[in-house]
Structure 1
Amino acid sequence: MKQKQPGIVKTDPWLLPVIHDVEQRIFRFHSKLESIENVHDSLNKFADAYKYLGINYDHKARGWHYREWAPAAHQLYLAGDFNNWDPRSHPLKRIENGIWEIFLDFKTYKDSFVHGSKVKVWVESSNGFLPRIPAYIKRVVQDEDTRNFSGQLWFSDFDWQGDSFRIPKDEKLFIYECHVGMAQEKEGLGTYLEFAENILPWIKQSGYNAIQMMAVQEHPYYGSFGYHVANFFAPTSRFGTPEDLKSLIRRAHSMGIAVIMDIVHSHTVKNVNEGLNMFDGTDSQYFHPGTRGIHPDWDSLLFDYGKTEVIQFLLSNVKYWLKEFHFDGFRFDGVGSMMYFHHGNGLIDSPEKYFREGVEWDAITYLQLANKLIHSINPGAVSIAEDVTGMPGLAAAIKEGGIGFDYRLGMGIPDFWIKLLKEHKDEEWNIHEMWHVMTNRLPGVKTVAYAESHDQALVGDKTLAFWLMDQEMYWHMHVNDPHLVVDRGIALHKMIRLFTLALGGQAYLNFMGNEFGHPEWIDFPREGNSWSYYYARRQWSLVHNPELKYKFLANFDQAMVSTIKNYKVLDDEYGTQLQMDELNKTIVFSRGKLVFVFNFHPTASIPDYAFRVPEPGNYKIILNSDSGIFGGHNRISEALVYPATLHKTNGFAELRIYNTNRTAVVLLKE
């Protein structure tokens, strides 16, 4: 009897040499899941650790339990405002499996162990006697004078009544990537409430139906962009209270906007004072010991995904954000780094290298468990993998040999655009390479396409707008100031974004402010800039100023998103190539009901330009990047009807337009 092949091998015969490895991936997942279910009944209950560990009120016992997993510790003590920070007056008792516990009854501590009180746990170990922040603490605050961080008691009874939002089935995602702290124009920290009041309406107006929130988990260094997390269950207090964050999410839901969290489970800070490092006195409690536990590029620590307590910590974290904050899914940071001991560095060019060389099997099993958990809690939630390795099966079902993500980030796309702008003149652009980069994905692998993200906006790099226009943006963005560099930049900025959206995937992502070509990079407060917030903000006044050209880019972005969304273009998995004209740098393709014509040529405008369309009939222009409302030159008549007739010799339907240079046109058959 012929053995049934895993689904990802059926889809991609290139994987036939590693069919056994794919089967082993499935086996490891089921083996780990079975071992969890044998002890905890279900994966869902296993992920309830945040209700047991940390500080939780017990209504039956009428008091607070504080429990901490610290297997190698000699003794733990709870200290805080409630006992005048006495480091030895409240010892915890070791109970089982390396867990320590103390109970504070309500009657005795009702006036001292209260909402807002600060706490720490003193850990006596081979590493000394040190104050630490509880691992499962739900709020962490920084003292303004000492700059030290402490845990804070936070008892929330937020009313979620009426929030029944779910991402509509089969709705395509238009994601607005955002950072609350730098979302305001003021030189300082933005807040959750300011974001809900000031930025959500702009996102809604711009046509985006999801936000991807960065820097949610507490991180001691603001300039890490939120990627060096210390306290995994604590929403950062820089931007407000947990209730403020919940209010933001509820407000977004009321506007039909999903909220996706940028979750960091790929690594954590080395900090001993704020983080998990050496918590029980060893370097191997949460992490791989020695050099294996250190990320050489990120100067951070790597979780040991083979430990049951570690994956329980992380899975519990996933459930916590879904259940307690109503997030609608996650973008998992650093997935490529997690899946390989070499962290995705180097060439992976064969199936054997994908499945056998330096593969962190435990991390892959963890990611499978995380995806199963997410979709069991909320079947409509989305999970997105940030992976540059191209791991086969990343966004395929676990039963098919996949890892279970809903989407992968098309990380090669923004890298391609930056490389193109840096290394090639306009007339050297290879339209066949452009097509290949946008469409180079396996069938069934849903991809989030994006032309640029926050990575390109940081100091040391440049956004697309800056690569295109550079310093001229400072001097020539007035609407009455024609300038060749700015004209080129605006034209190509629009074309690159539409080309990416129309061809690159089944979802689209834009970073906050890039839709209107935000002119400044991001530079967080640091010693090198005298701790300034000047570049850690978004200048919304630029796009709202009618005298400046930024409005043209914003207008086009809104029209572009609206067109793709309204005509359900992303329902088609791929575009269909209709014409590749290297001489005139023109690409014509259809996707869904629409026909797209891109002329990337720097100078060639061709009257009566002929190209093939899917069928004969009358076509109308529904989007034209050369329109004056988008900062174009109004060279094309949008009032005309363009008839497509059958060609006498080849039998294809043929249509003719004025094909102007550096222009994207979208046509719809009437």
Structure 2
Amino acid sequence: MTKTHPITLDDAEIESVVAGTHGDPFAILGPHHGSAGWHLRVFAPEAARVWAIGPAGETELPRVHGAGFFAAPLSDALAASYRLRLAVGGRMLEREDPYRFPVLLGDLDIHLLMEGRHLRTFEKLGAHLLVADGVAGTHFVVWAPNASRVSVVGDFNGWDGRRHVMRLRHNAGVWELFIPGLANGTHYKYELIDRHGALLPLKADPYGHFAEVPPRTASIVADLADRDWADGGWMAAQAKRNDRHAPISIYEVHLGSWMRVPEDGNRMLTYVELADKLSAYVKDMGFTHVEFLPVHEHPFSGSWGYQPVGLFAPTSRHGDPDDFRLLIERLHVNGIGVIIDWVAGHFPRDAHGLHYFDGTHLYEHEDPRLGLHKDWDTYIYNYGRTEVCNFLYSNALYWIEHYHIDGLRVDAVASMLYLDYSRKAGEWLPNRHGGNENLEAIDFLRRMNEVVYAEHPGAMTIAEESTAWPGVSKPTWTGGLGFGFKWNMGWMHDTLDYFSKDPIHRRYHHDKLTFGLLYAFTENFVLPLSHDEVVHGKGSILGRMPGDEWQRFANLRAYYTFMWTHPGKKLLFMGQEFGQQSEWNCEESLDWDVLRYPLHQGVQRLVRDLNRLYRVEPSLHQLDHDPAGFAWIDCNDRDNSVLSYMRKGFDETDFCIVICNLTPVVRYDYRVGVPLGGDYREVFNSDSQWYGGSNIHNGDGCTAEDEPWQGQPLSMAVTLPPLATLVLKRA
């Protein structure tokens, strides 16, 4: 596009350029055509002399301002094709002029951005390597509608915000600039001046694909060209693997503390090392999925990733983005799905982040009664703003598309749904109807789920929602929030409370194990024993178990077996699969050394075998979310602390009988009702000596007798081991 401007500039315009306050540098710099022909203006404060050079010859640009403003007429031929030559520090450098390139962000993109219908804003905003007019470089685009000037700064320009001022696309409030010659690995930030002329702290790119290792905070240009993925087999079966009728057993992992290298300064494993070690371990243990605590770039390690700044960047603590893609690919090749914790509920107050981004509360609410989480001292996204929602929708798709993520577990959904979440009277504002529901957040969550499932039907979304909000995992067209699954926090709290009781008192708390079945099928539940249950003074899961050492491990084995046979998908935080003794510490490795001891080995074997049982027995997973998949045999034997129930699959004749004896008393000839005759054999016994138990079992099995019992037409006499859960199946 030919730019026209008077050949002679007044001193005020030149002064604004050299001062770095001019908001429209393309109106001043670069080639301009006027009545007297072409004129070129260059601001190069680092240069002693400047020339325009090209096939048509060269022209030196005289200095017209002592701060480094150069200008001169150009011939038509030289204006058509030129580069800049600069004398800098005794050297001659050549470079392209960024102010000779036209706009690259298309009008359709602008239109969709303004309407909030651009579902893949990550393809346009941020830093993208491309070739413009035959020249390779990086195209930068950032949304900052209330800034009076935005610049790209980095090592390439001495972090001087005067030198690469961006062009404002007024309609959308986005700024863009193509900087020729900038390649993969370039460190950069944005320098902004607010509407009042105040210089703001340097900002990382909200759409940055990569960042420096904290505590450094610059964004890094990253080439996210299409990878030649080797996980085609997994992706073809993704929908089947993530289906609610499939076995889903999730291993929750914090990448920084799963395993460390003590002989190398206790350093964390890299993504490449994790690709080998973690995928092999998870496959051996039989988990179907891993769930990573947030992998987004975050400045404070102690937040575990739940206070992210770089929502589009996997943390650089373990390697670069392509290394992270290798980790996911390796897990997929080994038959393991990947879920990431996704934080759309809040963001931290770090100066280089989203807070007060362009000198206004751009991403967050201005009123702290709507926009501040006191629990975490973080800001809340303004879900009523189209561009903010678009940013988050795009981010959800970004992880699924660029990284082949199978699912998003959305953190802290309850804090999003309620305006008065963790707030006292007077600290929150009601909605337009006078209620405490955050109507904008509800609309956002519904739309986010609709977008994810419409674009990627094989993916899954999971809500960490700790209240009784109805229909969290129901379709939006029925009034639900549209999630695929929901964490069952009530089950977790009730069962942990029960198993922490001394067995002599458990008869008085029997309902803690049975109450969950009153609502077990109201949602598509995941049963979580997550990281939140092993921090902040709570100790480990093993540490909650009462009794002497043998009883503590027996209780843990019985609890896990109850969990794996209970309706609902499974989630277990790392370390608990081998009975971690100590509370989780994000700065240290798991206590792998305890696997020297037989009881810990036994717990690990138990979890491995439970995962196998859960996968191969259809009755234990096919109807996890359907009342047809569960039936009590006896839920009322509180005096003996015994529970018995059936799990059923699509084939009602293919069922499992589960019996839990949750006291240390062996119960001989304990009669249990069964629906069909024949012999029943143990397919799982948490008291097996293989797991560290006392090895009390039912030998070759039990035979159904013609004696009605517990509402069943037949029954059998069973030996119940102490503090154990049995699974029996009709032979």
- Structure 2 length as normaliser, TM-score? 0.76
Distance 1:307 1:628 in 2: 60
1:539 is aligned to 591
Matched, 1:497 2:560: yes
556 and 86 in structure 1: CA distance in 2 versus 1, 3 angstrom threshold: same
Distance 2:645 2:343 in 1: 38
Matched, 1:266 2:345: yes
The residue identity in structure 2 corresponding to 1:195 is L
Matched, 1:601 2:669: no
Return the offset for 1:660.
Answer: 2.6
Per-residue CA deviation, residues 107-140 of structure 1 (Å, 9 max, x unaligned), is: xx32xx1211110111111453421112111111
Q: Which moved more, 1:88-97 or 1:625-634?
A: 88-97
8 Å CA contact 1:67, 1:99 repeated in 2:
no
Return the offset for 1:417.
Answer: 3.2
Per-residue CA deviation, residues 72-115 of structure 1 (Å, 9 max, x unaligned), is: 2121111112212212111112212453433335xxx32xx121
Q: Secondary structure at the match of 1:417?
A: helix
The residue identity in structure 2 corresponding to 1:539 is D
8 Å CA contact 1:336, 1:344 repeated in 2:
no
80 and 667 in structure 1: CA distance in 2 versus 1, 3 angstrom threshold: same
Distance 1:406 1:88 in 2: 49
1:589 is aligned to 645
Distance 2:402 2:488 in 1: 30
54 and 212 in structure 1: CA distance in 2 versus 1, 3 angstrom threshold: same
Q: Secondary structure at the match of 2:598?
A: coil
8 Å CA contact 2:144, 2:175 repeated in 1:
no
2:310 is aligned to 231
> Aligned residues, how many?
591
2:169 to 65, 79, 95: 95
Matched, 1:172 2:247: yes
Distance 2:167 2:282 in 1: 51
Matched, 1:151 2:242: no
Matched, 1:560 2:616: no
8 Å CA contact 1:412, 1:437 repeated in 2:
no
43 and 559 in structure 1: CA distance in 2 versus 1, 3 angstrom threshold: farther
Structure 2 unaligned spans of 5+: 1-107, 649-654
Distance 1:556 1:616 in 2: 29
1:460 is aligned to 537
605 and 250 in structure 1: CA distance in 2 versus 1, 3 angstrom threshold: same
Return the offset for 1:633.
Answer: 0.5
8 Å CA contact 1:459, 1:522 repeated in 2:
no
8 Å CA contact 2:211, 2:219 repeated in 1:
yes
Distance 1:76 1:188 in 2: 38
Structure 1 unaligned spans of 5+: 1-35, 470-483, 525-532
Q: Secondary structure at the match of 1:591?
A: strand
Distance 1:323 1:364 in 2: 25
The residue identity in structure 2 corresponding to 1:140 is A
453 and 278 in structure 1: CA distance in 2 versus 1, 3 angstrom threshold: same
1:488 is aligned to 551
Return the offset for 1:188.
Answer: 2.5
Query: Which entry has the higher C-alpha Rg, 1 or 2?
Result: 2
8 Å CA contact 2:575, 2:590 repeated in 1:
yes
Per-residue CA deviation, residues 45-73 of structure 1 (Å, 9 max, x unaligned), is: 62111111111234455543211111221
8 Å CA contact 2:128, 2:221 repeated in 1:
no
Per-residue CA deviation, residues 537-567 of structure 1 (Å, 9 max, x unaligned), is: 1133432x3x432100011111112112211
Matched, 1:548 2:598: yes
The residue identity in structure 2 corresponding to 1:550 is H
Q: Secondary structure at the match of 1:132?
A: coil
Distance 2:328 2:115 in 1: 26
617 and 434 in structure 1: CA distance in 2 versus 1, 3 angstrom threshold: farther
Q: Supply the RMSD in Å over aligned alpha carbons.
A: 2.7
Distance 1:561 1:600 in 2: 22
2:269 to 190, 200, 204: 190
1:646 is aligned to 706
Return the offset for 1:38.
Answer: 13
Q: Percent identity?
A: 25
8 Å CA contact 2:500, 2:545 repeated in 1:
no
- Normalized per residue, the structure richer in helix is 1
Q: For residues 133-532 of structure 1, what are the structure 2 equivalents within 5 Å?
A: 133-142=204-213, 147-157=215-225, 159-164=227-232, 165-166=234-235, 167-169=238-240, 170=243, 171-186=246-261, 187-273=266-352, 275-343=353-421, 357-421=435-499, 426-430=504-508, 432-441=510-519, 443=521, 445-450=523-528, 452-468=529-545, 485-505=548-568, 507-524=569-586
Q: Which moved more, 1:363-372 or 1:51-60?
A: 51-60
Distance 2:559 2:708 in 1: 35
652 and 646 in structure 1: CA distance in 2 versus 1, 3 angstrom threshold: same
Bigger relative contact order (CA 8 A; separation at least 6): 1
Return the offset for 1:654.
Answer: 0.4
Distance 1:380 1:173 in 2: 14
2:678 is aligned to 617
- Structure 1 length as normaliser, TM-score? 0.83
Distance 2:467 2:718 in 1: 41
